[in-house]
Structure 1
Amino acid sequence: MSIVVHDPPTDSFAVDVLDPAIWSRRGEALAMERSHQHDDLELNFVLRGRLDYLFGGEHISVPAGHLAMFWGATPHRLIESSYDEPGDSCWLHIPLSTVLRWGLSTRDLNEVLQGRPVIVPTGAAGRDVESMFMCWMRELEDEDGETIALIEAHALVRRLLGYHRRSTGHATALTLAGTGASESMQRVTAMAQFIVAHFREPVTTAEIADAVHLNTHYAMSLFRRSVGTTLGDYLTRCRVSEAQRLLLTTTLGAIEIAHAAGFGSQSSFYAHFTRICACSPGDYRARHR
């Protein structure tokens, strides 16, 4: 059951940017020609078959009986799989601005913003997940139903993150509370969003801080305290993820990829890529294509 990535179309270099929106649907997953990104928390539930994603530059598989949850800001696309059974999956999108009002713990927000899917068995939901998604599809058609669906989705997200935290041995973090904490997390998320939108450019930490109207030192401290990594490392990881994607979906050379992903020099690209991926860009392309 190997994953198959077809030769991309000529415009595969581009990434479609979708507007955030609340919606849910069910059906068979179809391979996408281009990656897209969106400022939503995305939940996938696989009833039958398997979902295969190219997530940034990494292959991610979600088997039947599992839920995947991730922030859609990382470019991603469904790719064709040789799985021999017709698929059946459910999707739910919730704008990140809505999720931020839920008062999640800093640990959970770190999981949401880390740029990699959280994948757990459906038993972690503690409910009949298929029935929930079917209800949401009906309820999201009207305003009153949307409120109910979001309350249930909020509970589901907390259960999934709690299960993931326990299964990975992470300690419980304090929940953010109060207006000040809420405003701080809005600033943190705004910084993450700014990085995702501008990492291909020669952006600096001062520019990131200025974008959210904060002192540079305070912005760096707030981001690290809230997300668990530095602004610089988050920026670098976005660039490496983009480089991985381009290595797999284009025939661009290393110099072109370094420039397209936002690295200031080829040496910087090689150093950061090797540190994070534990192999050179050339080796990465050879192993995964």
Structure 2
Amino acid sequence: MSKPSNSVEREALMTSAGGFLIERHIADAMSAAHWHDHVELNFLVKGQMTYIFNGRQEQVEAGRLVLFWAAIPHRTIAVTPDAPLICIYLPLADFLSLPIERHVRQSIMQGRFSADTRPYPSDAMLLPQWVTDWQHGDAARRQLILDEVKLRIRRFVLDTPDDTRDLAPPRSTPAVSIAVQRAETLTDLIHARYSEPISLPMLAERAGIHPSTANKIFHSVLGISVNEYLTRYRLARAMQQLAETSSPILQIAYDCGFGSASRFYDIFKRRTGTTPRLFRSSLGRNGITNEGDAAPP
């Protein structure tokens, strides 16, 4: 497997692969936000990295595994030079099949960015070995890597307190702090009102920003427009409901602000390559519930 040279090539490689993937590269700043339907794990070998995830700055420190649902738009905005980064892309269906507590799974799918509270020295040895074995191993060894990744995620979840996001508020980088703060205001409004028929002028008015300024800020921080972020966020929340609930698809379309079933189907098909119904059926139901949960019909 050739090593992708930049974030665009890596995204194309990961998307074309479709399933599980683990790779190592030198971390770089991304020109725009991107998204994909995997649960992503990052392990920075050395240095520091700053993400804009879910509209907020998140610091990634060397030696600490981080986990997030990559269907939420995200972008790297600051990276220590020559910082090696290991990325693991786990398909959503594999994540949903893990026997972890339902509220933890839901919090991740609702935009939680989780990080190990302390380094695990074994990660620094094990994860590079996974990369090598994945590149050169046969099918049996690759399956073993996938199984080991799932076990590592289960340990990660057990060791991560529910209030991790509140332990260390992200620090703003001075060069981007004003733009990031305004972008956070806009994303907070989107997260709170995505189910409503909102528009860019309405969001900008509530944030006290001119609509053109709002879009300029979004492009500078996330690389996409406010409306594009709103569409991607609505789609991510719809995917969560399709995976986590048995609600009718029409109800999900309205609950997530799409306005009509036809608009929802059109956007979902164009952006994911499948329909909401096929997406839901592809996940099955075996991983949706845990012992003690009521199984959906």
TM-score (normalizing by structure 2):
0.50
What is the CA–CA distance in structure 2 between the aligned matches of 1:54 and 1:153, rounded to whole Å?
25
- Change over 3 Å in CA distance of 1:250–1:139 after alignment to 2: same
**Partner of residue 203, structure 1:** none
Residue 72 of structure 1 deviates from its aligned partner by: 0.4
What is the CA–CA distance in structure 1 between the aligned matches of 2:60 and 2:76, rounded to whole Å?
11
2:123 is matched by which residue type in structure 1? Answer: V
**Partner of residue 52, structure 2:** 54
- Aligned partners of 2:98 and 2:154 also within 8 Å: no
- Change over 3 Å in CA distance of 1:233–1:249 after alignment to 2: closer
Residue 108 of structure 1 deviates from its aligned partner by: 2.4
**Partner of residue 34, structure 1:** 32
- Change over 3 Å in CA distance of 1:97–1:233 after alignment to 2: farther
What is the CA–CA distance in structure 1 between the aligned matches of 2:132 and 2:108, rounded to whole Å?
26
Structure 1 gap ranges (5+): 1-14, 169-231, 264-289
Query: What secondary structure is seen at the aligned counterpart in 1 of 2:151?
Result: helix
1:100 aligned onto 2:96: yes
What is the CA–CA distance in structure 2 between the aligned matches of 1:260 and 1:150, rounded to whole Å?
31
**Partner of residue 158, structure 1:** 154
What is the CA–CA distance in structure 2 between the aligned matches of 1:134 and 1:260, rounded to whole Å?
34
What is the CA–CA distance in structure 1 between the aligned matches of 2:163 and 2:78, rounded to whole Å?
30
Residue-by-residue CA offset, 1:227-276 (whole Å, 9 max, x unaligned)? xxxxx969559x99x9999564338xxxx84697369xxxxxxxxxxxxx
What is the CA–CA distance in structure 1 between the aligned matches of 2:101 and 2:193, rounded to whole Å?
19
Residue-by-residue CA offset, 1:149-201 (whole Å, 9 max, x unaligned)? 11111111111111113775xxxxxxxxxxxxxxxxxxxxxxxxxxxxxxxxx
% identity of equivalent residues: 23
**Partner of residue 139, structure 2:** 143
Structure 2 gap ranges (5+): 1-10, 165-190, 208-213, 234-297
What is the CA–CA distance in structure 2 between the aligned matches of 1:107 and 1:114, rounded to whole Å?
10
Structure 1 runs, 4 residues or longer, greater than 2 Å off: 15-21, 138-142, 165-168, 232-237, 242-251, 256-263
What is the CA–CA distance in structure 2 between the aligned matches of 1:116 and 1:166, rounded to whole Å?
10
How many residues are matched? 177
- Change over 3 Å in CA distance of 1:90–1:79 after alignment to 2: same
**Partner of residue 113, structure 1:** 109
Residue 139 of structure 1 deviates from its aligned partner by: 2.8
| 1:261 maps to which of 215, 230, 237 | 230
Residue-by-residue CA offset, 1:45-82 (whole Å, 9 max, x unaligned)? 1121112112132111111222110010001111134x
Residue-by-residue CA offset, 1:77-135 (whole Å, 9 max, x unaligned)? 11134x4x531221111111111222322022123212131011453x5x610222122
- Aligned partners of 1:55 and 1:74 also within 8 Å: yes
What is the CA–CA distance in structure 2 between the aligned matches of 1:25 and 1:114, rounded to whole Å?
26
**Partner of residue 218, structure 2:** 249
| 1:74 maps to which of 72, 75, 97 | 72
Q: Over aligned residues, Cα RMSD in angstroms?
A: 3.8
What is the CA–CA distance in structure 1 between the aligned matches of 2:71 and 2:228, rounded to whole Å?
20
Query: What secondary structure is seen at the aligned counterpart in 1 of 2:112?
Result: coil
TM-score (normalizing by structure 1):
0.51
Quick check: 90-99 or 109-118, which moved more? 109-118
